[in-house]
Amino acid sequence: MKKRLWVIAVTILIMMVGFSQFTDGKQASVKRPLRAVATLYIHGHHADPGAMNFLMASAAWEDNAHFVVTATVSSKGKVHLSGKWPAGTKHPMVKVLFQNNRTRNYRLLRVWLHNVLVTLHHRYGIKRFNVVAHSLGNAAVMNYELANGHKRGLPRLHKYVAIAGNFDGIPGRHKHQHPNYTMADGLPHWRAPWFKYAYRHRSQFNMRQASILNIYGNLRNGTHSDGKILNASTKSLKPLIQGHIGHYETQEFVGKNVQHRHLRENPRVASRVNRFLFH
């Protein structure tokens, strides 16, 4: 009964999150420094606007988080903010939408996230941020941190939840990564061009004040994957940031609803994300 009520409540909240995205186009114009840490939710490749709604609704239900703003980024990198962000909001959540949701261009993803953070900083005065990213959304986070994490004047990463991240190879592009595995030193046996570049320049990561939770699904069917992303690719995050991160932990999910797309709609995953972010 308790689980059923949880599902019903989250379903209602999902509808509210989706509805508020389209009904409130007003933008606040007064910059005010925020003590609360904003949490950004970033969708993956070819995802619809509601892709992260379940995770956001779960955060609202379990930890009284509040959806405040949608940041929509055009294909040219222009950011449009819609919504209301009242002063004193506890656990504010920002939905990030890339209008071009099919790009695999890491440079574009990095620039778009940079533009979102700069806009939020100028409009609302945010100084720190959390981020929850699914699939290719993690490419935006990691490329942003590699290029900008050491620069002053930009919002600083506080907590980062990576869900089903493809840190070593893009499905459909790097076909030679199959099969792949994690070696004894933590590095993947096969390495994509971006991974090689990031690993050579890993000293540029400046996450010593940040914490990371790396989540992946394992179908336990011999593929060592979530059906799309190899576990070796997801786990390759650790050697990239080792020595440059304040805290790092990983969580494997097995059983029901651990396929790539379903991870972001899995109640067990959502609760784990919330505990990490808000406790």
pLDDT at 8 over 60: no
Average pLDDT taken over every residue of the chain: 91
- pLDDT interval class at 9 (50, 70, 90): low
pLDDT at 102: 96
Region for 208 from its dihedrals, namely left if φ exceeds 0, alpha if ψ lies in -120 to 50, beta otherwise: alpha
pLDDT at 216 over 60: yes
The residues with which 12 forms a beta bridge, in sequence order, are none
224: Cβ–Cβ under 8 A, 6 or more apart, which residues?
179, 181, 218, 230, 231, 232
DSSP conformational letter for 261: G
Q: In this predicted model, what pLDDT tens digit does every residue of 35-80 receive, in sequence order?
A: 789 999 999 999 999 999 999 999 999 999 999 999 999 999 999 9
pLDDT at 177: 62
Q: Are 1 and 93 in contact (CB under 8 A)?
A: no
**Pick the residue with more confidence: 149 or 40?**
40
pLDDT at 35: 77
Rounded to an integer, the average pLDDT of 145-159 is 96
pTM metric for this prediction: 0.91
b/e for 222-240, b at 16 or more Cβ within 10 A? eebbbbbbbbbbbbbbbbb
pLDDT at 172: 60
pLDDT at 29: 42
pLDDT at 23: 46
- pLDDT interval class at 3 (50, 70, 90): low
Rounded to an integer, the average pLDDT of 251-276 is 98
- Residue 201: other Cβ atoms inside 10 A: 12
* Domains of the chain and CATH, by start: 2-278 (3.40.50.1820)
Q: In this predicted model, what pLDDT tens digit does every residue of 156-198 receive, in sequence order?
A: 999 999 999 999 987 666 666 667 899 999 999 999 999 999 9
pLDDT at 12: 60
Rounded to an integer, the average pLDDT of 102-109 is 96
